[in-house]
């Protein structure tokens, strides 16, 4: 029986449910299509894409931690042109709904160029701009750590695109609200909160960092309360729709994120631990809603003030 209880609208795009695999944890979808029918998903945020191909960081890139995992993949991807010519046509045969194109860059021009190219792709419903990348023209400081630089990227992308632009913010800041407000003022259509937290592990025998890059992004259930707090803070201050992300692993986590202010919810590291995570969350949502006496998910967005 078809139900609309889990339906939501994200920046004007109707989704069957709010569950979206987060960029970097689902590849370009083809591998996961061997595990389950991708069309059960609300949408898919594809692997982070840059203007030029990137090999990524040296190995090892992954390290386990308590309640999560560190990664330092380094945006490995084939570049925008190959994603458009090869990955998107392949995904179009497997997933028949609008997707989210995640774009990274190392200069404002990089972001604008790649986003303009991706904007022309019919299946792309939303462009997600990852501002956690180091600005090569500003000493390597991430675009998302300063309101001015996050706004500059937002304005540049909005000037060359026609589709909704969501800016994905870094939690590695002291005041995420000021950055969110700067993106809103610069014309963003939505926000994704949050990217990974900066972390590190040390190999006690070798007395060396486990990751070749020394530090990496920490994700998994351990960061959920931090991500939830940031979603709630930004939802109180901004009028933009939010995709909540960070440590989501269960249907109850999805509901909690939505009560904090998220319209849709991305599942990241849990996909790496359990490839069936998104499928199980979607299947569990109606039962969780019944237990919590929730008729429609759309009714609980921002319920906690």
Looking up residue 274, the CATH number of its domain turns out to be: 3.20.20.70
* Tokens found for residue 252: 């109850």
SS3 71: strand
Ramachandran category for residue 105: left, alpha or beta (phi over 0 → left; psi -120 to 50 → alpha): beta
Q: Does residue 113 belong to any structural domain of this protein?
A: yes
Taking the C-alpha atoms of residue 144 and residue 179, their distance in angstroms, rounded to an integer, is 7
Q: Does residue 305 belong to any structural domain of this protein?
A: no
Query: What pLDDT is stored for residue 1 in this prediction?
Result: 41
**Residue 20 parent element (H or E):** strand 19-21
The residue to which tokens 């090569």 are assigned:
136
H-helix segments, 138-262: 147-158, 176-185, 224-237, 251-260
* 136 exposure class (CB count in 10 Å sphere: 0-12, 13-18, 19+): exposed
| Domain count for the chain | 1
Q: Does residue 89 belong to any structural domain of this protein?
A: yes
Q: Does residue 273 belong to any structural domain of this protein?
A: yes
Catalytic residues: 133
Full domain range(s) for residue 107 = 8-300
Q: Does residue 150 belong to any structural domain of this protein?
A: yes
**Residue 270 parent element (H or E):** helix 269-273
pLDDT in tens, 247-299: 999 999 999 999 999 999 999 999 999 999 999 999 999 999 999 999 999 99
The residue to which tokens 């949050």 are assigned:
194
pLDDT in tens, 98-155: 999 999 999 999 999 999 999 999 999 999 999 987 665 665 568 999 999 999 999 9
Taking the C-alpha atoms of residue 37 and residue 81, their distance in angstroms, rounded to an integer, is 27
Taking the C-alpha atoms of residue 31 and residue 47, their distance in angstroms, rounded to an integer, is 12
pLDDT in tens, 62-80: 999 999 999 999 999 999 9
Contact 230, 194 (CB under 8 A): yes
pLDDT at 31 over 70: yes
Contact 91, 29 (CB under 8 A): yes
C-alpha pair distances (Å), 97 with each of 13, 38, 122? 10, 10, 10
Whether the model pTM is above 0.95: yes
C-alpha pair distances (Å), 247 with each of 214, 229, 236? 22, 12, 21
Q: Does residue 2 belong to any structural domain of this protein?
A: no
Q: Does residue 280 belong to any structural domain of this protein?
A: yes
Q: Does residue 1 belong to any structural domain of this protein?
A: no
* Tokens found for residue 280: 């199980």
């Amino acid at each position: 029986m078809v139900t609309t209880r889990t339906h939501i609208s994200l920046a004007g795009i109707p989704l069957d449910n709010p569950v979206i695999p987060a960029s970097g944890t689902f590849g370009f979808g083809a591998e996961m299509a061997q595990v389950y029918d991708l069309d059960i998903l609300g949408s898919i945020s594809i692997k982070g894409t840059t203007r030029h191909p990137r090999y990524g960081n040296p190995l090892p890139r992954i390290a386990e931690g308590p309640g999560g995992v560190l990664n330092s993949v380094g945006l490995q991807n084939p570049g925008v042109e190959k994603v458009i010519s090869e990955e998107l046509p392949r995904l179009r045969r497997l997933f028949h709904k609008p997707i989210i194109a995640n774009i990274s860059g190392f200069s404002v021009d990089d972001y604008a160029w790649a986003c303009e190219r991706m904007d022309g792709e019919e299946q792309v419903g939303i462009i997600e701009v990852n501002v956690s990348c180091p600005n090569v023209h500003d000493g390597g400081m991430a675009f998302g750590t300063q309101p001015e630089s996050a706004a500059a990227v937002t304005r540049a992308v909005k000037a060359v695109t026609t589709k909704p632009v969501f800016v994905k913010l870094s939690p590695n800041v002291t005041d995420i609200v000021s950055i969110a407000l700067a993106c809103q003022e610069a014309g963003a259509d939505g926000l994704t909160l949050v990217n990974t937290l900066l972390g590190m592990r040390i190999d006690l025998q070798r007395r060396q960092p486990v990751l070749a890059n020394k530090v990496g992004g920490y994700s998994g259930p351990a960061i959920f309360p931090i991500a939830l707090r940031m979603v709630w803070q930004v939802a109180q201050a901004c009028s933009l729709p939010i995709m909540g992300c960070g440590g989501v692993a269960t249907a109850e986590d999805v509901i909690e994120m939505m009560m904090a202010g998220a319209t849709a919810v991305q599942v990241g590291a849990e996909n790496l631990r359990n490839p069936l995570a998104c499928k199980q969350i979607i299947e569990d949502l109606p039962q969780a809603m019944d237990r919590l006496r929730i008729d429609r998910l759309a009714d609980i967005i921002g319920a906690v003030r």
